[in-house]
Copies of this chain bind each other. A is one copy, B any other.
């Protein structure tokens, strides 16, 4: 491990001068800089992140906090996608990532403790019980935080547009002729509330009377609970013609249950997922679902977090809403209705596979402006 001291010896300058040259200090001879840089490169020098961190209090490490109710960890396909995109962007900006957990060495360490212990410059939080006191403690600390799909007043959040998405989804199903629409939703979170609210409002606007027995609670990413709810729905006297599920993964429990009942999809019953994970498009029949843009969600979370870290004075926390896209698969049957066949217009980006730059302007405010400016400028 070659250090600054080694370089300093080799080229005759003091370690202070070397340090300045390496970090692009202003008050230093250009010629000297070049020389030192050459020697450093020749010796294969790389800074020691640990030593630098001790001095500067900046580790260039971002914490990632993710714990879902089913403890899927990295096996959670939706989260893995978001995280991967987060990671790629973070690395591009010069940061590594560290998973935050409470299980390090089995010591009773809170999330905040772990962050301090590792000196995370910032933390992204996703898919967790946001009412957990440990999470609250972390959010209220002075570490920059970005949350995904949950809003805290104090910090930036990246939000999938759940309201619009559920509206699109319900409208899509409605346009296919469905009126008896059931909704199996996940556990009580702000996301669930938004989806439920949007479900009610959209139905109401479309003139559908929502039956309370069509609403069932399950758990996200848990096929078993969705399967159970499905069984209950199938047992109803007046059973729904279409069921919306919490996500593409838990819908598997529903499919199993429907098959077990001897029904076929979509002939006997239509189903709709959520997330648009890869799995949803390799199932047969291909799932009708809502694709959340994990690419943008992750990337933007990283970009915002780094922005907040590097510009603590001028950074303004904000809510960034990322639109989703209905993917019209093969699991919603076209029903022939006696009367009303009016087709309702729906969201502009619907049916489009990819979000292009245009659709990004759907985002609230000009959240992306800075981001794209940064990318174009090729910051380093």
Chain A residues within CB distance 8 Å of chain B: 1, 44, 46-51, 53-54, 59, 73-75, 77, 80-81, 83-84, 87-88, 91-99, 101, 103-106, 109, 113, 116-119, 252, 278-279, 282-284, 380
Given contacts A50-B54, A109-B46, A252-B282, contact A94 B104 (CB under 8 A): yes
The reply to whether B74 and A74 contact each other, CB–CB distance below 8 Å, is yes
**Interchain nearest-CB distance for A262 vs B (Å):** 15
CB pair A118 B49 closer than 8 Å? yes
Tell whether, in the assembled complex, residue A91 and residue B119 are in contact, meaning their CB atoms are under 8 Å apart: no
Q: Judging by beta carbons under 8 Å apart, are A116 and B46 in contact?
A: yes
- Name the prevailing secondary structure of the A interface residues: helix
A-B contact pairs, 8 of them (CB 8 A): A46-B116, A49-B119, A73-B88, A74-B87, A75-B77, A77-B77, A91-B105, A95-B104
Give the complex CA separation of A192 and B119 in angstroms: 42
Contact B75 A96 (CB under 8 A): no
Which residues of chain B are near A101, meaning CB under 8 Å?
91
- Closest Cβ neighbor of A380 among chain B residues: B106
Q: A51: which B residues are within 8 A, CB to CB?
A: 54
CB-based contact B93/A96 at 8 Å:
no
- Contact at B99–A96, with CB atoms within 8 Å? yes
The answer to whether residues A1 and B116 also contact, given A97-B99, A104-B96, A105-B380 and a CB cut-off of 8 A, is yes
Known: A48-B117, A87-B73. A92 touches B103 (CB 8 A): yes
Residues of B within 8 A of A284 (CB): 283-284
A84 to B46, CA, bound (A): 30
How far, in whole Å, are A91 and B92 apart by their CA atoms in the complex?
26
Closest chain-B Cβ to A53's Cβ sits at a distance in Å of 5
Does A91 contact B75, Cβ atoms closer than 8 Å?
no
CB contact between A80 and one of B47, B50, B75, B283 (< 8 Å): that residue = B75
What is the copy number of this chain in the assembly? 2
Given contacts A75-B84, A87-B74, A105-B380, contact A47 B1 (CB under 8 A): no
Contact yes or no, B84 A94, CB < 8 A: no
**How many Å lie between the Cα of A97 and that of B100 in the bound state?**
10
Minimum CB–CB distance for A299 against chain B, Å: 13
CB of A118 within 8 A of CB of B96, answer yes
Indicate which residue in B49, B113, B118, B279 contacts A279 across the interface (CB closer than 8 Å): B279
CB < 8 Å neighbour of A74 from B48, B59, B80, B96: B80
In the complex the two chains form, what is the Cα distance from A300 to B107 in whole Å?
22
Complex Cα distance A104/B47, Å? Answer: 13
**When chains A and B are docked, how far (Å) is the Cα of A104 from the Cα of B97?**
11
Given contacts A73-B87, A88-B73, A101-B91, contact A113 B46 (CB under 8 A): yes
Q: Contact: A84 with B91, CB < 8 Å?
A: no
- With a cutoff of 8 Å between Cβ atoms, the chain B residues found around residue A380 in the complex are 105-106
Contacts of A53 in B (CB 8 A): 50
**Shortest distance between the CB of A305 and any CB in chain B (Å):** 16
Query: Which residue of chain B has the shortest Cβ distance to A277 in the bound complex?
Result: B75
Minimum Cβ distance to chain B for residue A322 (Å): 18
Which residues from chain B contact A83 at a C-beta distance below 8 Å? 74
Residue among A81, A118, A283 with max Cβ neighbours from chain B (10 Å): A118
Q: CA A53 – CA B91 in complex, angstroms?
A: 22
Q: What is the CB-to-nearest-CB distance from A223 to chain B, in angstroms, rounded to a whole number? A: 9
Docked pose: A95 CA to B282 CA in angstroms:
37
Please give the distance in Å from A172's CB to the nearest CB on chain B: 24
Which residue from chain B places its CB closest to the CB of A85 in the assembled complex?
B73
Cα separation A252 to B49 with both chains bound (whole Å): 43
